[in-house]
């Protein structure tokens, strides 16, 4: 809410990244729920490592994470989102002697303070699902 108010007051743009970890059921079924928890911690750690201290990262629930990029336009957010996806995909983690790779999809949405937090997250979530469809080769739903 503070970032939205800041964006509106100072006529600045910030962005939200919405991430969804793909294949959590497979990780849980193959390696156990503790491995799934480790996968989520691995993703959270990489997000925190690769974002600025001025940005905010949080788990939205289940296998979804969000990041607020303070004073970042949509192009900057998309570049950062793609960098994060690449880093997560390229950085497997070890659990109980098994190297586990994690796949992730993301969506980005920029805001200037004229939308509610729910609207912002909804738009970023829709972009994330579009990314999932693109990565599977599905045609976008219009």
Positions annotated as catalytic residues are 63
Kindly report the backbone phi and psi dihedral angles of residue 63, in degrees, each rounded to the nearest multiple of 5, phi listed first. Answer: -110, 30
Hey, which residues does 98 pair with through a beta bridge? 95
Q: Which residues contact 95 (CB under 8 A, 6 or more apart)?
A: 31, 34, 35, 38, 39
10 Å Cβ neighbour count for 98?
A: 12
Residue with tokens 């796949």: 103
Gap between the Cα atoms of 25 and 32, Å rounded: 9
Q: Which two tokens stand for residue 50?
A: 């690769």
């Amino acid at each position: 809410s503070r970032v939205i108010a800041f964006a509106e007051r100072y006529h600045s743009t910030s962005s939200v990244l919405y991430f969804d970890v793909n294949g959590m059921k497979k990780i849980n079924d193959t390696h156990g729920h503790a491995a799934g928890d480790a996968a989520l911690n691995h993703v959270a750690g990489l997000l925190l490592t690769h974002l600025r201290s001025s940005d905010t990262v949080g788990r939205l629930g289940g296998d979804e994470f969000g990041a607020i990029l303070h004073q970042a336009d949509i192009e900057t957010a998309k570049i950062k989102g793609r960098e994060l996806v690449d880093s997560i995909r390229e950085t497997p983690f070890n659990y109980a002697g098994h190297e586990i790779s994690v796949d992730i999809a993301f969506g980005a949405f920029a805001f200037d303070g004229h939308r509610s937090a729910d609207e912002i997250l909804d738009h970023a979530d829709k972009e994330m699902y579009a990314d999932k469809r693109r990565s599977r080769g599905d045609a976008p739903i219009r």
